[in-house]
Structure 1
């Protein structure tokens, strides 16, 4: 990188944004015919030169992602762990560092969707949903922080459900907690040179929706609710995460980046603008 302030510091950096980095992606396995957010992030990180540890509790799902990466000439390993276990999170970080020699990129994409209301679940189910959607991010991050060097980056994956105003769902509560954690972690870890950001996911259609059995007839109303009138995919989320994880976003931390196809229309839309009066 040049010291001349008039020259783009990334002008000669090449097309691969994550060259030389090692990434641990929680929830990186692939288990449906549609790409999951974790899978798409793993693929993009590898395509941009990162060595990727694909963390998933499903060994077959992790293997599918690893096989795809290696077939494309990338480097990846499966890390089998249940991130709702704090001990397993510690072991996953240790395994990644043991194999690759370092860790400087962390992504948490694990989520369990459940539309049950906050007063409709048992205490046990409440804890399960909070553990999967929020506490697991705290666990994997706290074990990663001691080995993350200055210049490292972390991205969590949330949902527009975090700003949903009711009826209350445990999933939305957990995602709101995740976003608050992201902002707090960014402030806390900033002096160590570690950036922490979040991608807030809109109504995309990917593995999460497919696995949850979303009816196909729901897809059109969802895309019509966006400003762009198009349907997003896991790749849209992955590219946002790639930017935040890369040095191109080296002065961005504590940010919640919403990827939802534009704010939803709540009022009638006027005619398309084709000329200026």
Structure 2
């Protein structure tokens, strides 16, 4: 089954598209998966999918903005599987709005989950990884952590924070055998990009439909001319997790958008 056989992977935001793809990719390699989300029912059905691939799974409800909640989940994961080898701090929320539309509560909501959540999850898993002198941490950032984007200022700020935090912690633990990296998904045709009120809708030119805006922006922004998939991100996460000498990096999977 390869180098992930019987390794334990702790994935937050596992019920979403990218989180689910990462969980299934690791499960196919024989890893045990702690499926973590804000509500247990978001990952209950995924437990069965992981088990169908021959791997063990544990579903956990966690508030990533609460240190004790995350610490309890980490402890339960170690008690259940006996180890915690790789953490994918993937939980996140999106928000779209101009500076006039974003209020303090919306700013705090996005920064709390996306930035504070990564801090808390990293802090909690390092309590396990440091004594064992091994581990890999992958934080989900975004291409929005590498470039500003209109109507996404709070989301962009949170993802820049994730990349800076990742760089800093990678240096702190560089001699412990633990790697810390960020993955930066590009444009995926779901979530904040598509549908009414999404970025493609926001960025419409006069006379354009949302679908036409999507196609125009996709082709103009991405050199390869096509969007990425959740499975593309999962493939990159598996690569980073298996590379002992890649650390402190923010690796984009974006079709060349931020080259």
**Which residue matches 2:207?**
none
Distance 1:262 1:60 in 2: 36
Query: TM (normalized to structure 2)?
Result: 0.87
1:257 aligns with 2:254: no
Question: How many residue pairs align between the two structures?
Answer: 244
Compared with structure 1, are the counterparts of its residues 120 and 223 closer, same or farther at alpha carbon in structure 2 (3 Å cutoff)?
closer
2:237 aligned residue (233, 238, 241): 241
Distance 2:64 2:192 in 1: 17
Deviation at 1:264, TM superposition (A): 6.7
1:173 aligns with 2:157: yes
1:185 aligns with 2:169: yes
1:17 aligns with 2:12: no
Deviation at 1:122, TM superposition (A): 2.6
Higher gyration radius (CA):
1
Deviation at 1:196, TM superposition (A): 0.4
Query: TM (normalized to structure 1)?
Result: 0.81
1:219 aligns with 2:211: no
Consecutive unaligned residues of structure 1, counting only runs of 5 or more, are: 1-14, 31-35, 266-277
Contact kept? 1:206, 1:234, Cα under 8 Å? no
Deviation at 1:51, TM superposition (A): 0.4
Deviations 1:158-198 (A, max 9, x none): 11112333546111001000000011010011121110011
Distance 1:208 1:72 in 2: 30
1:152 aligns with 2:138: no
**Which residue matches 1:12?**
none
Root mean square deviation of aligned Cα: 2.1
**Which residue matches 1:195?**
179
Deviations 1:57-91 (A, max 9, x none): 12222112211111222211101112122221111
Select between 160-169 and 255-264 the one with higher mean Cα deviation: 160-169
Distance 2:98 2:155 in 1: 9
Contact kept? 1:37, 1:206, Cα under 8 Å? no
Consecutive unaligned residues of structure 2, counting only runs of 5 or more, are: 199-209
Compared with structure 1, are the counterparts of its residues 129 and 193 closer, same or farther at alpha carbon in structure 2 (3 Å cutoff)?
same
Contact kept? 2:194, 2:214, Cα under 8 Å? no
